[in-house]
Amino acid sequence: MPYHEFECSKCIPERKKHAVTKGLCEDLTSALPLGYLNTIPGSISERGCAYCGAKHVIGTPMKDVIHISHGPVGCTYDTWQTKRYISDNDNFQLKYTYATDMKEKNVVFGAEKMLKQNIIEAFRAFPKIKRMTIYQTCASALIGDDINAVAAEVMDEMPDVDIFVCNSPGFKGPSQSGGHHTINIAWIKDKVGQVEPEITSDYVINYVGEYNIQGDQEVMMDYFKRMGIQVLSTFTGNGSYDDLRAMHRAHLNVLECARSAEYICNELRVKYGIPRLDIDGFGFEPLSASLKKIGLFFGIGDRAQKIIDEETAKWKPELDWYKERLKGKKVCLWPGGSKLWHWAHVIHAEMGVEVVSVYTKFGHQGDMEKGIARCEGGALAIDDPNELEGVEAMLKLKPDVIFTGKRPGEVAKKIRVPYLNAHAYHNGPWKGYEGWVRFARDIYNAIYSPIHKLALVDISKDDIRTDKGFVTQRMLSDTNLSEEALSSADLRQYTGKYDSLADLRKKVYPSFERQPVEAEV
């Protein structure tokens, strides 16, 4: 059995089946780490709760909405802002967070009246915003406040507003993944079908499981618009509440993050017969294949190919510049769920880095199976690791960089391992052709930055070398490069702007002629 036992977890024997080492050419389908189970008592998990999964991951990227949590302020505060899911309406949904701030007396006497006052107060504070989501938390669920009834009462009294309620308290499922499921199902059950959209193209999609982290959605929208595709809604990054009530009129659901949003795609297929196409916006090859698939579905493959050719010619030399300098670097790929299989193979193939470990906090066994299949032999796969296991793994594997969230990332910094935020990014967007080069540049800067070495120097002893000054690219990443790579006329460093979205938001798109609609007999 390839199970890996951590020294630090020997006192929690149940943890042993949550980590495996992938043997060379080994088929791990019969020895996957256990996954998506309740956290074992004694192991301090770094998972988010089901409320966090519903609100922070899926609900709050919706841009024209007041998002209220009915519970203690701590639940809201911990799920505010950290993911940088921006929007083109001046980031309204990121600027403010709202909570009913339940206290002990509300737990004893109930908090429905307070909730109603809070809803009305929030709408009065932002009179132009007419849409709201309300999230149940552990406290409001345990005392049994009827949030749906309060929301219905307010909608009766204020006919111009619409409110969506998500009953996904923290304890509803082993991890945030339980909340993803709940909010997917609640949205299609309660809201889809309520708005009739204007159809302006022969090719109409919902873009699902995309959260516009630092502009990812806007980059992908650029490709769709260049293909003449109408995007009815995005679930949910940069998405509009009313657009998402019109999801039932799409011809195709294009699904990006299958871990968090396949549920609504499956329901849309069952209820409205809309097919689902899984795509991947990360990496030149997966993105090109995705655009081709969408093009083939609609019979506009030529439009997809034109974009692929243009973008590849423009950005591939820049990706290859970084590949030359990243080859052989070791990476721990420790995101939340689906990125471990979205990224594992393609960062190796297109950037040359070796994935020495994958982990997931809330992914299911299927995510782990796909992730393990796509990484190299010898990689350590861990389900729901605790902090001590993470440190032990880093000390053993000695990665050059880790891609993870802010909690393990801060720990990595303490032991001088560079870290990139896999959830919120550093200098994203990272989707799209240019975005993938930006990701490579962020990896390059994380690995070669001298900051971690400088952090080891005790400046009070005044023993910093002054003869070389600051260490530069030529002294670090280029020391062992071949003359061919060094003098190549085909490779070049990233040439894009720091803010790659500003021009995109001003762009004007060509209109495409539509097919004549046949008269019904």
Residue closer to ligand SF4 (CB basis): 37 or 277: 37
Site membership for ligand SF4, residue 138 (CB under 6 A): yes
Quick one: CA dihedral 441, 442, 444, 445, positive or negative? Answer: positive
CB of 188 to ligand SF4, least distance (A): 23
Q: Where are the alpha helices (DSSP H) in 333-431?
A: 339-351, 365-374, 387-397, 406-414
CB of 98 to ligand SF4, least distance (A): 15
Residue closer to ligand SF4 (CB basis): 170 or 428: 170
User: How many positions of this chain bind ligand SF4 (CB under 6 A)?
Assistant: 9
CB of 211 to ligand SF4, least distance (A): 19
Residue closer to ligand SF4 (CB basis): 114 or 219: 114
Pick the stretch among 46-54, 93-101, 122-130, 191-199 that binds ligand SF4 (CB under 6 A): 46-54
Nearest to 383 by CA among 16, 11, 8, 12: 16
CB of 336 to ligand SF4, least distance (A): 16
**Partners of residue 99 on adjacent β-strands:** 69
Site membership for ligand SF4, residue 120 (CB under 6 A): no
Q: Which residues contact 70 (CB under 8 A, 6 or more apart)?
A: 99, 100, 102, 111, 115, 134, 135, 136, 137, 140, 145, 147
Residue nearest to ligand SF4 as judged by C-beta position:
170
Contact 63, 238 (CB under 8 A): yes
CB of 395 to ligand SF4, least distance (A): 31
Reported in sequence order, the residue ranges of 44-130 that DSSP labels E, i.e. its strands, are 66-70, 98-99
Pick the stretch among 48-56, 304-312, 332-340, 413-421 that binds ligand SF4 (CB under 6 A): 48-56
Site membership for ligand SF4, residue 51 (CB under 6 A): yes
Nearest to 260 by CA among 359, 370, 178: 178
Selected from 93, 100, 137, 477, the binder of ligand SF4 by CB under 6 A is 137
Q: Footprint of ligand SF4 on residues 360-389 (CB under 6 A)?
A: none
Q: Footprint of ligand SF4 on residues 4-33 (CB under 6 A)?
A: none
- Packing angle between helix 301-326 and helix 432-448, nearest 10 degrees? 10
Residue closer to ligand SF4 (CB basis): 49 or 205: 49
Pick the stretch among 49-57, 93-101, 302-310, 311-319 that binds ligand SF4 (CB under 6 A): 49-57
CB of 148 to ligand SF4, least distance (A): 18
CB of 138 to ligand SF4, least distance (A): 3
Q: Which residues contact 396 (CB under 8 A, 6 or more apart)?
A: none
Q: Which residues contact 35 (CB under 8 A, 6 or more apart)?
A: 18, 360, 363, 364, 365, 367, 368, 383, 384
Nearest to 343 by CA among 407, 470, 431, 274: 431
Task: Kindly state the DSSP code that residue 501 receives in the 8-state scheme.
Answer: S
Site membership for ligand SF4, residue 390 (CB under 6 A): no
From residue 393 to residue 432, what is the string marking binding to ligand SF4 with x (rule CB under 6 A)? ----------------------------------------
Nearest to 277 by CA among 257, 300, 293: 293
Site membership for ligand SF4, residue 61 (CB under 6 A): no
Phi, psi angles (nearest 5°) of residue 499: -100, 105
Residue closer to ligand SF4 (CB basis): 77 or 126: 77
CA distances from 490 to 325, 328, 348, 432 (A): 15, 21, 21, 21
CB of 165 to ligand SF4, least distance (A): 15
CB of 141 to ligand SF4, least distance (A): 8
Residue closer to ligand SF4 (CB basis): 49 or 353: 49
Selected from 59, 61, 169, 428, the binder of ligand SF4 by CB under 6 A is 169
Residue closer to ligand SF4 (CB basis): 174 or 209: 174
Q: Which helix (H) or strand (E) holds 355?
A: strand 354-360
Joined together, the tokens standing for residue 518 give 């046949």
CB of 44 to ligand SF4, least distance (A): 14
Residue closer to ligand SF4 (CB basis): 141 or 344: 141
Nearest to 502 by CA among 88, 25, 81: 88
What distance in Å separates the CA atoms of residue 190 and residue 506, rounded to the nearest whole number?
Answer: 35
What distance in Å separates the CA atoms of residue 328 and residue 351, rounded to the nearest whole number?
Answer: 9
Residue closer to ligand SF4 (CB basis): 166 or 287: 166
- The DSSP bridge pattern shows strands 230-236 and 252-255 to be unpaired
Q: What is the DSSP string of 56-75?
A: IIIITT-SS-EEEEES-HHH
Selected from 62, 68, 75, 368, the binder of ligand SF4 by CB under 6 A is 75
Selected from 19, 20, 34, 49, the binder of ligand SF4 by CB under 6 A is 49
3-class SS shares of the chain: helix, strand, coil, % to 5: 45, 15, 40
Residue closer to ligand SF4 (CB basis): 107 or 155: 107
From residue 170 to residue 199, what is the string marking binding to ligand SF4 with x (rule CB under 6 A)? x-----------------------------
What distance in Å separates the CA atoms of residue 358 and residue 21, rounded to the nearest whole number?
Answer: 10
Site of interaction with ligand SF4 (CB under 6 A): 49, 51-52, 71, 75, 137-138, 169-170
